[in-house]
Amino acid sequence: MVSPLVTAKWLKANLASVRTLDAGYHLTGVDRDPEAEFAAARIPDACRFDINRVADPTNPLPHMLPTAADFAAAVSAMGIGNDDHVVIYDDSAILPATRVWWMFRLFGHERVSVLDGGLAAWREVGGEMETTVPKIPSPRCFTVRPSVGAQVIDMDTIQALMQADGLGQLADARAPNRFAGTVPEPRAGLRSGHIPGARNVPLTRLLNGDGSFKNVPAIRQAFIDGGIDPDRPVITTCGSGVTACALALGLALVSNEQVFVYDGSWTEWGGSDAPISKGYTD
């Protein structure tokens, strides 16, 4: 079983034996183009995994899960097979690589890791950057299999759990001011606040200053400080289902895979007429 995280030093030493994916994506309002960044420079032989393209094209919400068939087709076209160790990286504060990590596991691929610290860590260890035209890989056969430690949950199920007084633990990865509803949401048309019963575990509290994940005891404490028992089942949520996956990775690091990512997250909930709460306690 591979680790959810690999270091840049490890990747530099093992680059020839893994398949790397660039999962760059930025928060709404950030003036950066991940496609242009990938075209300009990337880890050698990396392919581009765009969470907005490997998604459900029929759903109006952003980067919602694709069908199993569409995921398999996209990954096969990236030259990835079922036996490959996939390492995903990004250069973003919201860690979209963790969303791709979660998707691979949801579709049954266990040999998948995130580059801890992202592209900055790769550059820090003197990792080579490829600046020529990106290579087109030879397609391989990727077959979807049963999930390995990853689950998804939808709005209807969350509402049913709330009505039955059985919601359990719900961790929201957004910044405290967004969770409390004291600032507008980055996406237009969304209300401010959080799902009733949620607790705030901002992604930043799981990370070091360089964007790498903290050690296991510190990650456990970050969840405890947020009012979440890291040993019990947890639903994770965020703005649009990206940093919720970073919380899921953090929980995997503390050996908790009883985690359900709310795919629609606040983009769905805040854009609906479902009940909301504001402040830090309900």
% of the chain residues with pLDDT over 70: 99
Does the annotation count 47 as an active-site position? no
Q: Between the CA of residue 153 and those of 56, 175, 215, 275, what are the distances in Å?
A: 16, 22, 28, 18
Q: How far is CA 108 from the centre of its chain?
A: 16
- Across 142-229, the runs of DSSP E, i.e. the strands, are 151-153, 169-172, 199-200
Q: Phi and psi for 246 in degrees, rounded to 5? A: -70, -40
Give pLDDT, residue 191.
97
pTM: 0.97
- Taking alpha carbons only, the member of 35, 28, 49 closest to residue 137 is 49
Give pLDDT, residue 37.
95
- Residue 282 reports pLDDT greater than 80: no
Which domains, and CATH codes, for the chain? 5-124 (3.40.250.10), 151-269 (3.40.250.10)
Give pLDDT, residue 27.
79
- Residue 261 reports pLDDT greater than 80: yes
Give pLDDT, residue 1.
80
- The whole-angstrom separation of Cα 71 and Cα 216 is 31
> Of the listed 47, 141, 238, 245, which one is catalytic?
238
Average pLDDT on 139-143 reads: 97
Average pLDDT on 132-148 reads: 96
Give pLDDT, residue 46.
98
Give pLDDT, residue 138.
95
Q: How far is CA 261 from the centre of its chain?
A: 9
Phi and psi based region of residue 87 (left: phi greater than 0; alpha: psi -120 to 50; beta: remaining): beta
Tens digits of per-residue pLDDT, 207-257?
A: 999 999 999 999 999 999 999 999 999 999 999 999 999 999 999 999 999
Average pLDDT on 5-30 reads: 94
- Report DSSP state, residue 206: G
Reported confidence tier of residue 86, pLDDT bands at 50, 70, 90: very high
Average pLDDT on 41-62 reads: 97
Q: Between the CA of residue 179 and those of 33, 61, 106, 121, 240, what are the distances in Å?
A: 27, 20, 27, 30, 13
Average pLDDT on 104-115 reads: 98
Tens digits of per-residue pLDDT, 151-197?
A: 999 999 999 999 999 999 999 999 999 999 999 998 989 999 999 99
The answer to whether 100 and 87 have CB atoms below 8 angstroms apart is: no
Share the mean pLDDT of the chain.
96
Average pLDDT on 78-84 reads: 97
Token pair in block for residue 8:
């840049």
Which residue has tokens 């049913």? 160
- Residue 281 reports pLDDT greater than 80: no
- CA atoms in the 13 A half-sphere facing the CB of 70: 13
- Taking alpha carbons only, the member of 206, 229, 268 closest to residue 60 is 268
The answer to whether 251 and 101 have CB atoms below 8 angstroms apart is: no
Which residue has tokens 């237009």? 188
